[in-house]
Structures are given as structure tokens and as C-alpha cells.
Amino acid sequence: MAEILNRDHVSAVPQDHGRCIYASDGQALVSVSVRTREQFDAERDRFESSGVKLPELVTVEGFGNEANVDPRYNSLNVVAGERIVSVEIVGTEPSAPVKQLELEKDVARAALERV
């Protein structure tokens, strides 16, 4: 992960519910979550049942027809069998949306090797 994030050292900080934050020098950089389709859909349903109209997920190339971006967080979601791997940049780098997506794709590919 350090190589992907272009850092000398990256720490993995496991969170609840299948989520892990990758950080360097005390700064959170990337959040990676592994959820079931049901968990993913339930999270979206909680917003909509509260009256919040969510934007459509945007299909992303590079993972077959199995990936999309959630415009709320600019997070990448990749379907891997029965699981969905979600990657979200939580740090400040990179700020350009195209570069952010490419970094998320690189992180997702590394995560998919371990799922």
C-alpha cells in the first residue's frame, strides 16, 4: 500500500464493519471497506428512506461491468463475487477527480488480490 500511496510507511488501522483506514504520518489517506451487496444496498436505503434522494451510481471502466462511483463521496465500488470493495480517498491528495479515481482503482486492485 505504501508504494501505491507513494509514502515511505503506511499503517493499516482496522475499523468496525469490514472497514480499514490506511494512514501515513498521522494522516488518514484511504478508506477501504468490504461489504456484502445487502450491506451496500442497506446503506443506500437508509438515506433514501430518510427522504434523501441519492444520485445514481456512475459505471466505471477497468473492472468489467462490475464497478461504479458513488458521487456522494467519489468512492469507487467494485463487485468481487458476493462482496463489494469500496475505496474512498479521505486525505487531501490527489485533488483532481481523474487522478483520485486512478488512485482508487490501484487501491481496489490491491484489495481485490486479498478478498
Cα dihedral 59, 39, 104, 81, rounded to 10, equals: -70
**What is residue 91's predicted lDDT score, i.e. its pLDDT?**
81
pTM exceeds 0.75, yes or no: yes
Grid coordinates of 31: 478508506
Each residue's pLDDT tens digit in the chain (115 positions)? Answer: 999 999 999 999 999 988 999 999 999 999 999 999 999 999 999 988 999 889 999 999 989 879 999 988 889 999 998 899 999 999 877 778 889 999 999 999 999 987 6
**What is residue 28's predicted lDDT score, i.e. its pLDDT?**
94
**What is residue 17's predicted lDDT score, i.e. its pLDDT?**
86
Strands (E), the chain: 11-14, 19-24, 27-36, 58-59, 67-70, 75-80, 83-89
Domain boundaries of the chain, sorted by first residue: 11-112
User: Quick one: DSSP state of residue 110?
Assistant: H
